[in-house]
Chains A and B, each alone.
Chain A
Amino acid sequence: MDTLLYLTRRIAQALVVILIVTVVVFGLLHALPGGPARGILGPQATPQQITLFNHDQGLDRPLPVQYLYYLRQLLHGDLGTSYTLNEAVSQLIEQRLPKTLVLTVLSAVVGLLLALPLGMWQAVRRNKPADYVITTLSFVAYSTPVYFLGLVLVMVFTQVVRWFPSQAPQGDTVAQVFADPVALVLPVVTGAASMVAVFSRYMRAATLENLSEDYVRTARAGGSRQRAILFRHVFRNSLTPVIAMLGYYVPVLFGGALVVEQLFNYPGMGLLFWSAAQSSDYPVLLGCVLVISVATVVGTLLADVVQRVVDPRVKGGLA
């Protein structure tokens, strides 16, 4: 019963957030020079064409009416048409999104697999040389712009030692992408670097906090060894706050994908967005923003639900 109530409320919250996002995107669409008509008809449209279009599309009606019209279009999956590629935006995104997901999910998994043990190890070796070295490295990894890091990696691994290709897999389908795993290494490492930095810091703090909890003392008083306490109790307890952070990290991952895809010429949604920005292809730009925002909202929702599954304590007072 409680869980059902929680889920209903949480999903309602997520819907409200998505609604706010659509308002923002709608607002941006209308802030464009020439409004959505220019955005949809393209920069070459004549004023007559625009007036006609506005009338046909109901764009001369009050803004709230137009917003409802826009929402109805969204509900039908209509994100408009790209005027440079002359294809439905929804279709373009449908083709590119899976590849971007492959890249981001791989980066996230690799990042977490490195960050969690690293953070725990740092907490155990707190204020020892190893901790300081990793802390400094984390700072550097966090402070390096992704494109600079990618560039350095490319220089080192394609020019100095020729271990990896400088381009990501070019295939059109996900299967083709996986057929060339070596080419995935550099993009994934580039995408994962700042994630390792952030989440190892986070895991370190969470582990340290848990190590000073009373239940650790209880376990010690019961004769449990340090290693057992760490893996049986502290790890799981430290994981919950980290999971909660994960949802909020989704937009950062997509932001990283934008740069990584451009850098390694990987034809995903980031690259689509990038070229749309170069050619002022507004429908594509806003369509991508909408999709990523929804993905983030769903991501935070999932993170919250997963956290609830991992942590059986009932959380009071949502809002």
Chain B
Amino acid sequence: MNNILEMENLGVTFSTESGDVPAVRGVSLRVAPGETLALVGESGSGKSTVALAALGLLPGNARASGGVSVGGTDVVGAGEAELARLRGRTASMVFQEPATALDPLTRIGRQIAEVVRNHRDVSRQEAAAEAVELLRRVGIPDPERRASAFPFQLSGGQRQRVVIAMAIANSPGLLVADEPTTALDVTVQAEILDLLRALAVDSGTGVLLVTHNMGVVADFADRVAVMLEGEIVETGTVEDVLLRPTHEYTRRLLEAVPRLTVSEPVGVVHEESEGAPVVELRGVGVRFGRGPRAVRALDDVSLTVRAGETVGLVGESGSGKSTAARVALGLVAPESGDVSLFGADLRKARGRARRTLLAGVGVVLQDPVASLDARMSVGECVAEPLRVHRSGMGAAERRERVAEVLELVRLPRELARRGPRELSGGQRQRVSLARALVLAPRLLVADEPTSALDVSVQRTVLEVIAELQSELGFACLFVSHDLAVVQQFAGRVVVMRGGRVEEQGPTMSTLLHPETAYTRRLIAAVPIPDPVLQRERRERRVASGTEAGA
């Protein structure tokens, strides 16, 4: 059988200000019709560059060498005109960010029709009719009407469906999908993966799937290639690579992946904390904006974090989990309900009393870049809470305390003199953690502290938090979209949905025996990095989905 994609010794080099940077070296791979090859690796491994090279879409400062052949056409040597004939017909692509992948000012039907007319000599009306048909195929409800919608009127998942519709408009032999579900919630991710699989099976399309998510790999791929620093270190069938990895790096990678336990627990069982409440939200409601356009962000939310325990706050985007954390921190004033922090009413506390209360709180937010002021040194960043609350502290004493906490989060004390820009993402998050712990807080609020990090880095950061917690005994409110991480990390879990608490309880029992249909659906949608297990789960999910739909 002829391979639809063949790469032979592909190399890609970027020319930058600081000289040439090789991004990809000696990559050889092939994709047969109807087959899905997953290209996995952490950030900076070069996997996306390989994907772009397949369609000749590399940016202007990149140079490719070696051979890339798509359906028999040599891509590396081809001119723009030849590539334009190839793209969207022989091979097409689905990108990571559905929010920005579509022209915001052009109706989606027209954008799909454009791809049709790029390659086939059909009239405007025929192309428009085809666009509607494609929208129907990718599962957009009421496609006749939706075809005249603008991208902003669609949800993220629907936009990704539109991008997929564009990609399959001319029944390509090869579909390159670069992290197609990374920006989406898990339930939407499951739907998009089902859709891609159905389309690939239907038309015998070969798929090159680029992803960092081992669960997605297990769910979707036939074969896997693992990339590390621009090179492929291991290739094999999905069962071989995920269950019996041979390369050291693959093993480490798989080990670091947080796995959602779906059968009875084998690991540590967290005990229920009986400590005094550290932070308590009672019947909290929050509304953003005024008048008819106001959005109800939280509705009657009650939750408690007790001394020494970790509460995981999980939910999909828009569930209100971050808002709830911000209410607990006093950053968002609730419209109704009570918030008490260390037993005092945060809304009534003013001036000195409020400052004393807040001195007992540490905060770590999601974005490793935006969390630290790039104009300060690491030392100054960490020392900031000391300057706020311990203004009497001398410079030498402060330096010593900063050095202490840096070592606490397993960073060398010399780092204090460096700038945040010189650090990696994982190091930055540990600096944020050091800043949060410098006042020895009784409560740590962590809002998606590791979701921007690679799995191996995520593991280190989570380990540091867990160890320090058992050492220092602070309570933790841990906000995350990742059920597996929460399961590992939190003693109790609060599941949120649409601004309300869906259900809450001890983590293990809640996630193993969820009471509400939504939580069940949420858990079923999480892909597990075990191809055999995941296949069963998928079949069960699809079956129950069809039942529910019928």
- Cross-interface CB contact of A313 among B100, B104, B293, cutoff 8 Å: B104
Smallest CB-CB separation from A218: which chain B residue?
Answer: B101
Interface status of A237 (Cβ within 8 A of chain B): yes
CA distance A220 to B85 in the complex (A): 10
Cβ of B104 and Cβ of A218 under 8 Å apart?
no
- Taking CB atoms, residues of chain B closer than 8 Å to A228 are 114, 118
Answer yes or no: B152 CB below 8 A from chain A CBs: yes
* Chain B contacts for A2, CB-based, 8 A: 293
Residues from chain B with Cβ under 8 Å of A316 in the complex:
293
A164 to chain B, nearest CB (A): 41
Q: How far is the CA of A313 from the CA of B151 in the complex (A)?
A: 9
A219 part of interface (Cβ distance < 8 Å): yes
Q: Does A217 contact B (CB under 8 A)?
A: yes
Interface of A is mostly: helix
Selected contact of A221 from candidates B81, B87, B150, CB within 8 Å = B87
Which residues of B in the span 344-389 have a Cβ within 8 Å of any Cβ on A? none
Known pairs A222-B92, A222-B114, A224-B114; A312 contacts B57 (CB<8 A): no
State whether A217 touches B102 (Cβ < 8 A): no
Does residue A178 face the partner (Cβ distance < 8 Å to B)? no
Contact B80 A237 (CB under 8 A): no
Question: Closest approach, in angstroms, between the C-beta of A252 and any C-beta of chain B?
Answer: 27
A225 CA / B115 CA spacing, docked (Å): 11
Residues from 160 to 207 in B contacting A, C-beta threshold 8 Å: 163, 166-167, 169
Q: Is the CB of B105 within 8 A of A312?
A: yes
Given A218, A225, A240, which contacts B102 in the complex, CB threshold below 8 Å? A218
Q: A217-B57, A218-B163, A313-B150 are in contact. Are A223 and B115 (CB under 8 A)?
A: yes
The answer to whether the Cβ of A180 comes within 8 Å of any Cβ in the partner chain is no
* Assembled-state Cα–Cα distance A266/B189 (Å): 67
- Chain A residue nearest in CB terms to B110: A232
* B520 sits at the interface (CB 8 A): no
Is the pair A218, B150 in contact by a Cβ cutoff of 8 Å? no
Complex Cα distance, B294 from A316, in Å, reads 11
Do A312 and B88 form a contact, CB below 8 Å, given A217-B95, A219-B114, A233-B106? no
How close is B15's CB to chain A, nearest CB, in angstroms? 14
Task: Tell yes or no: A215 within 8 A of B by CB.
Answer: yes
**Whole-angstrom distance between the Cβ of A13 and the nearest chain B Cβ:** 16
By size class, the interface of chain A is 20 to 34
Bound together, the chains give a CA A310 to CA B106 distance in angstroms of 10
B97 is an interface residue with CB less than 8 A from chain A: yes
A236–B105 CB distance below 8 A: yes
Question: CA of A316 to CA of B152 in the docked complex: distance in angstroms?
Answer: 13
Nearest B residue to A317 via CB reads B289
Cα of A221 to Cα of B87 in the assembled complex, Å: 5
Residues B169 and A222 in contact, CB atoms below 8 Å apart: yes
Which B residue's beta carbon lies closest to that of A217? B57
Nearest to B102 among chain A residues (CB) is A215
Q: Is the CB of A223 within 8 A of B103?
A: no
Cα A90 to Cα B549 in complex, Å, equals 71
CB B86 to nearest CB in A, in angstroms, measures 7
Known: A221-B87, A223-B89, A237-B105. A232 touches B150 (CB 8 A): no
Contact assessment for A223 and B106 in the assembled complex, using a CB-CB cutoff below 8 Å: no
Q: Judging by beta carbons under 8 Å apart, are B102 and A221 in contact?
A: no
Closest A residue to B107 by beta carbon equals A312
0/1 per residue, B103-140, Cβ < 8 Å to A? Answer: 11110000100110011000000000000000000000
Q: What residue of chain B has the Cβ atom nearest to residue A210's Cβ?
A: B103
What residues of chain B lie closer than 8 Å to A312, measured between beta carbons?
Answer: 105, 150, 152
User: B409: CB under 8 A from chain A?
Assistant: no
Q: How far is the CB of A239 from chain B (nearest CB, A)?
A: 9
Question: With A215-B101, A236-B105 in contact, do A221 and B88 touch (Cβ < 8 Å)?
Answer: yes
A220 to B100, CA, bound (A): 14
Q: Which of B104, B105, B114, B150 gathers most chain A CB within 10 Å?
A: B105
Q: Are A219 and B103 in contact (CB under 8 A)?
A: yes
A123 to chain B, nearest CB (A): 14
Is the beta-carbon distance between B57 and A225 smaller than 8 angstroms?
A: no
Residues in A whose Cβ lies below 8 Å from that of B92 = 221-222
Name the interface residues of A209-245: CB closer than 8 Å to any CB of B. 213-215, 217-226, 228, 232-233, 236-237, 240
Interface residues of A in 1-28 (CB under 8 A from B): 1-2, 5
**B56 — nearest CB in chain A belongs to which residue?**
A220
Separation in Å of the A41 CB from the closest CB of chain B? 50
B152 partner, pick from A215, A220, A237, A314, beta carbons under 8 A: A314
Q: Is B55 in contact with chain A by the CB < 8 A criterion?
A: yes
User: In angstroms, how far is the closest chain A Cβ from the Cβ of B154?
Assistant: 12
Cβ-neighbour of A223 out of B86, B105, B163 (below 8 A): B86
Give complex CA distance A273, B57 in Å.
Answer: 58
The closest CB in chain A to the CB of B119 belongs to A223
Closest CB of chain A to B70's CB: distance in Å?
12
User: Which chain B residue shows the least CB distance to A235?
Assistant: B105
A60 interface residue (CB < 8 Å to B): no
| C-alpha gap A314/B150 in the complex (Å) | 11
Q: Is A311 an interface residue (CB 8 A)?
A: yes
- In the complex, which of the residues B100, B115, B118, B292 contacts A214, with contact meaning CB atoms closer than 8 Å? B100
B150 to A: closest C-beta gap in Å: 5
B residues 499-535 touching A (CB-CB < 8 Å): none
Known: A214-B95, A221-B57, A221-B92. A237 touches B103 (CB 8 A): yes
Contact partners of B81 in chain A: CB under 8 A: 225
A214-B97, A310-B105 known; A222 vs B152 contact (CB < 8 Å): no
With A217-B57, A220-B57 in contact, is A232–B84 under 8 Å at CB?
no
Cα–Cα, bound, A228→B110 (Å): 13
Q: Are B85 and A223 in contact (CB under 8 A)?
A: yes
A311 touches B57 (CB 8 A): no
Complex CA gap A266/B191 in Å reads 68
Contact present for B87 and A220 (CB under 8 Å): yes
Q: B80 — which chain A residues lie within 8 A by C-beta?
A: 225-226
A221–B105 touching, CB < 8 Å: no
Question: Quick check: B105 and A311 within 8 Å, CB to CB?
Answer: yes
Residue of B nearest to A226 (CB): B80
Question: Within the assembled complex, what's the spacing in Å between the Cα atoms of A227 and B377?
Answer: 47
Interface string of B143-167 (1 = CB under 8 A from A): 0000000101000000000010011
Whether the Cβ atoms of A215 and B103 lie closer than 8 Å is yes
0 or 1 for each of A303-318: is its CB under 8 Å from B? (1 = yes): 0000000111110100
Chain B residues with CB below 8 A from A225, complex form: 80-81, 84
* Alpha-carbon distance between A240 and B87 when the two chains are bound, in angstroms: 29
Pairwise interchain contact A313-B152, C-beta atoms closer than 8 A:
yes
Instruction: Return 15 A-B CB contacts under 8 Å, by A number.
Output: A2-B293, A217-B57, A218-B93, A218-B163, A218-B166, A222-B114, A223-B84, A223-B85, A223-B87, A223-B115, A224-B115, A236-B105, A310-B105, A313-B104, A313-B152
| Further 18 A-B residue pairs, CB within 8 A, beyond A213-B100, A218-B95, A223-B85 | A5-B291, A214-B97, A214-B101, A218-B163, A220-B87, A222-B114, A222-B115, A222-B166, A223-B86, A223-B88, A224-B115, A228-B114, A232-B114, A233-B106, A237-B103, A237-B105, A312-B105, A313-B152
Residues of B at under 8 Å CB distance from A? 55, 57, 80-81, 84-89, 92-93, 95, 97, 100-106, 111, 114-115, 118-119, 150, 152, 163, 166-167, 169, 291-293
Closest 9 pairs between A and B when the two form their complex, measured CB to CB: A223-B88, A222-B115, A222-B88, A214-B100, A223-B118, A221-B93, A223-B87, A215-B103, A313-B152
